[in-house]
A = this chain, B = another copy of it.
Amino acid sequence: MVERTEEQHSAKMKKKQAAHDRIVASRTVEKGLLIVHTGKGKGKTTAALGMVVRAIGHGRKVGVVQFVKGAMTTGEKVVFDAFPQNVAFKPMGEGFTWDTQDRARDMAVAREAWEEVKRMIADPSYDMVLADELNIVLRYDYLPLDEVLETLAARPEMKHVIVTGRNAPQALIDMADLATEMTLLKHPFREQGVKAQAGIEY
């Protein structure tokens, strides 16, 4: 850091504050956002979960549909269960995965999960819908991308939808209001042989 006098510091901070205030004042639009978390790093599902928790805390109703078993498990379920009026959690992907090696079955699981997402998007009682790991299903062509994009584009105006998973289709990112890429800088699993631990991975 460059050394600054107290006065210089104060002047700089005042400028920052004023710039920040101007930006906030210029933001007047309220709308349902399409949010995409992608990339190979950690935190895609976890950050979505954090948004769900915030929405719950504000008394909103959230639908969570899990396309692939794994990322969201017992830890968050206990917390969701404490707010039964606010969260509908559908772990549809229990039947999905490399375990089955059955493409037709995986496609059926993906279709069922997607129909649940569509139902929640159409249902006015839901403020937010999380389609967890939908990108993975799209990556394997288990659902038609066009149908997914059309449904998301036609969603009710105030409905927030969060889509997670690596390899988000570019067309989905293009449509998104907010897209974040989680990039791996360092990972203990690979480098140190650390196993999954409660509160970190599940």
A residues with a Cβ closer than 8 A to B are 1, 6, 9-10, 13-14, 16-17, 20, 23-24, 26-31, 33, 35-39, 41-43, 45-58, 60, 62, 74-79, 82-83, 98-104, 127-128, 139-141, 160, 173, 176-189, 192-200, 202
Q: Which residue of B has the minimal Cβ distance to A43?
A: B47
Which secondary structure dominates where chain A touches chain B? Answer: mixed
Q: Which residues on the B side are within 8 Å of A100 (C-beta)?
A: 13
Query: Closest Cβ of chain B: how far from A133's Cβ, in Å?
Result: 15
B185 and A177 contacting across the interface, CB-CB below 8 Å:
no
A186 and B192 contacting across the interface, CB-CB below 8 Å:
no
A198 and B50 contacting across the interface, CB-CB below 8 Å:
no
A24, B16: Cα distance in complex, Å: 47
Number of copies of this kind of chain in the complex: 2
A58, B74: Cα distance in complex, Å: 7
A9 and B58 contacting across the interface, CB-CB below 8 Å:
no
Q: List 13 A-B contacts (CB under 8 A).
A: A1-B141, A27-B194, A27-B196, A28-B193, A46-B46, A47-B50, A49-B49, A58-B199, A82-B82, A160-B199, A177-B186, A178-B186, A180-B182
Q: Which residue of B has the minimal Cβ distance to A103?
A: B9
A201, B127: Cα distance in complex, Å: 15
A11, B135: Cα distance in complex, Å: 22
B101 and A77 contacting across the interface, CB-CB below 8 Å:
no
Q: Which residue of B has the minimal Cβ distance to A140?
A: B1
Q: Which residues on the B side are within 8 Å of A180 (C-beta)?
A: 41-43, 182-185
Q: Which residues on the B side are within 8 Å of A177 (C-beta)?
A: 186, 188, 192, 194
Query: Closest Cβ of chain B: how far from A182's Cβ, in Å?
Result: 5
A98, B128: Cα distance in complex, Å: 33
- Residues A179 and B173 in contact in the complex (CB < 8 Å), given A54-B202, A198-B54: no
9 closest cross-chain pairs (CB), A and B: A55-B199, A54-B75, A57-B75, A46-B50, A57-B78, A43-B47, A49-B50, A179-B185, A27-B195
